Every structure is written in C-alpha cells, then in structure tokens.
Amino acid sequence: MSMTIFRYLHFLGITFWIGSAVAVAIAAAAPTPWESGIAQTLRKVTVRVTTPAMLVAFAGGLGMLIPNFADVYAKQGWMHSKLTLLLILAGVTGVLSGKLRRWADGEEIGPKTFSRLAVAISVLSILIVTFAVFRPFGG
C-alpha cells in the first residue's frame, strides 16, 4: 500500500474516532427528558463507529510510521510526545466506552462525567494535531 492510502485511512479514522467520541460524550452529558433509550443508543454508536474508527486510525498511522521509523520518527521528540498523548487518548476513549456501558446497564453516571470526558478528548486531540502539524522539539 502506498503512503497516501495509509494517510487517508489515518485521517478518515481520526475524523470519525474523535468526532463520534466527542459527539457521544456531549450527547450523554445533555440532560434530556427522552433518556430511556439514549444510553443504549450512544453505546451502540461507540461500539459501531468510535472503536472501529480508532482501529482504522491506528492502522493508517502505523502504516505511515513503521517504514520510516528508524530513519525519521525515532529521532523526533514531537513524535514521541504525539504517540504518548495518543495512548492517553485511547485510554480516555476506553473510559468513555466503559461509562456508557455502565450507564446502559442502569448505573447512574452523572452528566459532568461525560462533559469532562468530552473536554479531555477535545484537548488531547488538539494537542496531538498541534504536535503533528508544528513538530516542535524535533530531532
């Protein structure tokens, strides 16, 4: 596969991963009178869109990273920072998924929890994109 295909997969995955994760977290935080089925619906979105999109983003990113790692990226501080933040973002996405699962199972999860997760996902995403675009503290 060419680098262009991996780049498109990476960007497509990122767009759906972050977009759906933030949208689900915001929807879960909004107080609504029609809450009866919202938890199950948001959980389905996470399982069917967010998680597969995260895997596509990882696959595309690894497809670009692996062939150039030793020559280029292993020497770049910005890439190490980006990958660290990416792992934290994947963990926060997992926390979101877990909170949605427990909410769908009937546990009471406060709206502030989902608001905080939406902010965390957004801030981490902005930092990751900043590192990717501006490439500070290069090799």
Residue in 15, 105, 111, 95 with CA at minimum distance from that of residue 60:
15
**Confidence label for 24 from pLDDT (cuts 50, 70 and 90):** very high
Mind listing the pLDDT tens digit for each residue in 73-110? 888 889 999 999 999 999 999 999 999 999 999 898 99
Structure-block tokens of residue 25: 């977290």
Mind listing the pLDDT tens digit for each residue in 111-136? 999 999 999 999 999 999 999 999 99
> Hey, where are the domains in the chain?
3-134
2 vs 36, more confident = 2
**What is the rounded distance in angstroms from the CA atom of residue 45 to the CA atom of residue 12?**
17
**pLDDT score of 5:** 95
